[in-house]
Amino acid sequence: MTASEAGQGGGDRPPLLVVLGAGSDQRFLLQTARGMGLRTLAFDMNPQAEGAPFADRFEAISTRDVPAICGRLDALITEGERPAGVTTMGSDIPEIVAAVAAHLGTPSVSAETARLATDKFEMKQAFRRAGVPIPWFAAVRDARDVQEALDTRGGRLVVKPVDRSGSRGVFLVDRDMRDRVPALFEAALAQSFSGRVQVEAFVPGPQYSTETVFHRGRGVTPGFADRNYEWLQRLAPRIIENGAWMPTALNAAGQAQVDELLACAAAALGLSDGTAKGDVVWGPDGPLLIEMAARLSGGDFCESLVPLCTGVNYVPAAIDLALGRTPDFSVLTAPPRQAVGNRYFIGGPGRLQAVEGLDEVARQPWIHKLELWYRPGDEVPAPVSHAHRLGVFIATATDKAELDRRIDWVYRTVRLQILPSGDGDPLAGPAGSAA
């Protein structure tokens, strides 16, 4: 008997949802599952994982240790337990979710879809074969290939490892940086799990984060945010996003074009049932797909931005899909109620000496989240990826203009006193500074 059959069998206990990860990104997923009347079993290598208290059962096992996870689930099945589905949120491990779900016999994206969704070069090739509009791209074997692409293509190029997320090892280069390309290529290569790097054209234009729920090929996009890249020059040549705004400034016709693009991209990946996180840029001829992940996003998107803007929580739909249920599409979209944005604090490297203004910001009724992940006395890192940001806040307002004023006020009010140490990011250019 498969775990799926056990999960659908008799007994009065609610179905058991397996959640891979119990960190801050999975906490909201665990809370939502509990609110749906489900029981949860969470796996995380950290015995003190932040989300562990929100799980009904917790196992200190790495989410990448498939044999250990499956072995524990087999023991539960022997005991008569009912694993009914497996999912995650914010963690870019669709191949692990697919492997565990296949072992359990529960719904998931296929292993091939998971492979394509975590290999950016293979993903782009699948998009190109299917005619999905994307920026130009190519595999590069060494720095000379990157320099040749700069000479022949012109403009700016993005250098990135094919199999990482969170902006790790991602750089923006142009012809004036040819002498720096070898160091940047090696840095990107060092971040790749498989030792592979690609380049792609940097397309100027507004960028959007999207999240679509697909069921039997039909998609609804409850998450649609305008991405904020105001740090491009400050942190050059690294590309690190500083949050997003909702609702999007893109009109209804433009959103419909993006929805069509997302549907074509999901079909190219073989994703007919599940959630898909899209990164889109609006180029001279319309929207282009940069990447698509086969998972729920982390970083406050589906946890905070969408619910605060529209009142929609679509995590239950993702859970329904993992359990083999049909999601209720009628509750996945709603008009915006207010403007919302998330932003981050950066700094370092150095020692955090003091923090001022947090209490004043926290008293504002329009602040919905305010976290600083370091304390005075801590060594803080240089901002070299999304994982190296120092904290986050989420603000709301009646419209974007008021929201921007409030965000600026937060940045003026919160003062992080950091005693510099070291030389900062060794790959930063003359304009790149976190000061």
Predicted TM-score (pTM) of this structure: 0.93
- The per-residue pLDDT for range 109-136, each reduced to its tens digit, is 999 999 999 999 999 999 999 999 999 9
**Residues near 380 by Cβ (< 8 Å), separated by ≥ 6?**
347, 348, 349, 350, 351, 352, 374, 390, 418
Task: Tell me which of 69, 93, 108 is where a domain ends.
Answer: 108
- The per-residue pLDDT for range 94-113, each reduced to its tens digit, is 999 999 999 999 999 999 99
Question: In a 10 Å sphere around its CB, with 0-12 CB exposed, 13-18 middle and 19+ buried, how is residue 363 labelled?
Answer: exposed
Write the single-letter amino acid at 331: V
Residue whose entry in the numeric block shows the structure tokens 């891979």: 20
Is pLDDT above 50 for 430?
Answer: yes
Task: Tell me which of 201, 231, 254 is where a domain ends.
Answer: 201
> Mean pLDDT throughout 237-253?
97
174 and 196 assigned to the same domain: yes
61 and 145 assigned to the same domain: no
Q: Give the residue from 80, 69, 41, 120 showing the smallest Cα distance to 322.
A: 41
245 and 123 assigned to the same domain: yes
126 and 246 assigned to the same domain: yes
375 and 397 assigned to the same domain: yes
**Residues near 430 by Cβ (< 8 Å), separated by ≥ 6?**
none
Is pLDDT above 70 for 9?
Answer: no
CA dist., res. 14 & res. 393, Å (int): 36
Q: Which residues constitute the domain of residue 261?
A: 111-131+203-336
- Residues linked to residue 277 through DSSP beta bridges, in sequence order: 211, 293
Reported confidence tier of residue 11, pLDDT bands at 50, 70, 90: low
Q: Residue 102 CA to chain centroid, in angstroms? A: 24
**Residues near 72 by Cβ (< 8 Å), separated by ≥ 6?**
43, 59, 61
93 and 125 assigned to the same domain: no
Beta-carbon neighbour count of residue 179 at 10 Å? 8
Task: Find the CATH number of the domain harbouring 66.
Answer: 3.40.50.20
296 and 389 assigned to the same domain: no
310 and 256 assigned to the same domain: yes
Task: Find the CATH number of the domain harbouring 316.
Answer: 3.30.470.20
Write the single-letter amino acid at 371: E
